[in-house]
Structure 1
């Protein structure tokens, strides 16, 4: 590890800003949205990538360096603790409408970055305890079906019409959103049904179905929160979970927009290549999202830990970082104007 690698500690600015909002409310309730979707896009516009070395890993750390691993592990108690604090504040502290909206957005942003995003990284690890940590994070965001669908569905079908998380050319985000949300859940069910059928199960409706077990766990958590915090607590959790899911689908949308793999003579699809994902080398977003923006290399070799992901020169490059691109995607006419001419092959 080099001293420069300590920059990854800045990813904790997101939970720190959420904590500030929960502690002080008032204008601080909006600290996280202003940080992630205000300050970060401005910094990335002012600080474009320079002198990026092709195929060079993000850091010199070993694949299982404790420093980079523990940066992820600590996100679990941080996020769960913030969620408990958030529910307590929203159900017990008198808040204005503006404060409530700011805190819901803040917790949702945290759920997308510390919750689903870190769970995505841990879910690709082979060690059992890391996968359990991924499931804890996804459960806190009410998004456990992702654990099934992403590794076994998205990585197999990415950049094809079979993948609900691949946005199509000229498809507005707000049309993509319900298709992706519903499609991922259906895909998780079909993947589990197929696995059970291969194992000789007579029906998918069994205790061996991982999706049903995940849904039961989430239902149990919802009941507990309802008993402890009542209806307001459930609404607060659901609101944050919805924001996190929408933000995560914005990430999906910008990562693969309009990119398609070619059919092979055998009727399948070519192997996933770096040109099948959009990349961003903007440094601030790379650090805040644990190198998720080097998405091409992640799909090229999904087992590669985040801190060893490489810049792939063959991948199409976004004009700015993920936060800025997510804002752009939320306004389809602007998105199409900026991005359609950049799509290598219109689908």
Structure 2
């Protein structure tokens, strides 16, 4: 079983393979990665039993320290960078029709946003410099580096409260949430960084301001490839920045879709002193669907992640008492794009879970 789980966490590598192979196969092949993520994975989640098993307490320390799991996430950084540079090469040297542009940009976003941001999220919670560096590199490739500030210092503190931009509210559709989360999250990151600088008596307009670094880094990154390809091909290769910023927009929008479903309608009680109750596994939607959890490094065991943010992905727990999504993220993201369908499925589920939780608490 341990070997099967190890192999399972390598399944993310299927996505870049499908993207690259599909492009060269052509025809319907350009949609192979989309079909896998949004059709095959939900079907496998449905057909294969959920995994509600947890690592035994006595084995957690040992498994948490095993280098294999860290190596998988570190290796992904190099895979993603290679695939993104390949994407630059394709748009710079090939004449693509509109459908090929759409397939390539959205497919790349599934790689950089669906998996890349998930890996960045995992590494960004670690204290080691290498983990932090790799997390920032991944977020740079989708123009969302401020996420490491807002998520760690903002979202994890304010989750399931009205003050948190990344907590979707009951009755709020995805598109309204997207606008609020993207804008308010970005503003929050600037404010959090200003507070950090003030505490250290560092001037706001300084290169030590990480938000300035995070603004410049993606621009420098894409400019280097723009200039390099333009020089090599003896023309202004406008396709490179167009491709880079388009896939970035789609990638962080995919992240926001995940944010939307992870905490929909969750609320922490406000105490008499004005503070909120501590975060518990009751404040995040959980999903223990086996296939999509392998693909997403168990991000769907989000309840345990928020309760114990320091835990590495391989030892995250399933909680029966947590609110449970009816399907994995691949399926629920599609549902979220259609608000009437989302509300029809999720609102009764949320109300029933809250009622059940209330009845249990008063017994």
In 2, Cα distance between the equivalents of 1:259 and 1:228?
48
Counterparts of 1:307 and 1:289, CA distance in 2: 11
8 Å CA contact 2:54–2:316 kept in 1: the answer is no
1:9 aligns with 2:16: no
SS at structure 2 position matched to 1:221: helix
CA contact (8 A) 2:126 2:310 kept: yes
Residue 220 of structure 1, CA deviation: 1.2
Contact 1:22 1:86 in 2 (8 A): no
1:56·1:310 contact (CA, 8 Å) conserved in 2?
no
Q: Contact (CA 8 Å) 2:136, 2:145: kept in 1 or not?
A: yes
Give the structure-2-normalised TM-score.
0.90
| RMSD value, Cα | 1.8
Match of 2:298?
291
Deviations 1:214-248, CA, capped at 9 Å, x for gaps: 11212211322332343211111111111111111
Alignment coverage as a number of residue pairs: 343
**CA–CA distance in structure 1, aligned partners of residues 254 and 191 of structure 2:** 25
Corresponding residue number in structure 2 for 1:34: 35
5+ residue gaps, structure 1, are none
CA contact (8 A) 1:79 1:114 kept: no
2:251 paired residue number: 244
Q: Tell me by how many angstroms 1:56 deviates.
A: 5.2
- SS at structure 1 position matched to 2:165: coil
User: By how many angstroms is 1:80 displaced?
Assistant: 0.3
Offset, 1:178: 1.1
1:274-293 per-residue CA deviation (whole Å, 9 max, x = no partner) reads 01000111101100000000
Q: Is 1:340 aligned to residue 347 of structure 2?
A: yes
Secondary structure of the residue that 2:348 maps to in structure 1?
A: helix
Is the CA contact (8 Å cut-off) linking 1:261 and 1:276 kept in structure 2?
yes
Q: Which runs of 5+ in 2 are unaligned?
A: 230-236, 356-363
Query: Does the 8 Å CA contact 1:258/1:345 hold for their aligned counterparts?
Result: no
Conservation of the 8 A alpha-carbon contact between 2:298 and 2:316: yes
Larger Rg: 2
1:209 corresponding residue in structure 2: 209
Cross-structure match for 2:234: none
Q: Does 1:176 align with 2:183?
A: no
In 1, the alpha carbon distance for the partners of 2:24 and 2:83 equals 11
1:119 aligned residue: 120
Runs of 4+ in 1 over 4 A off after TM superposition: 54-57
Deviation at 1:23, TM superposition (A): 3.5
- Correspondence for 2:260: 253
Aligned twin of 2:333 = 326
Equivalent position to 1:263, from 247, 264, 270: 270
Deviations 1:152-205 (A, max 9, x none): 11101111111111000000001111111111111110000111112224x422
CA distance in 1 between counterparts of 2:107 and 2:56 reads: 34
TM superposition shift of 1:345: 4.2
User: How many angstroms apart in 2 are the aligned matches of 1:92 and 1:26?
Assistant: 19
Q: Which runs of structure 2 are paired with 1:1-347 in the superposition (5 Å)?
A: 2-5=2-5, 6-49=7-50, 52-53=52-53, 62-201=63-202, 203-229=203-229, 230-343=237-350, 344-345=353-354
TM-score of the aligned structures, taking structure 1 as reference length? 0.94
Aligned mates of 1:228, 1:234 — CA distance in 2:
12
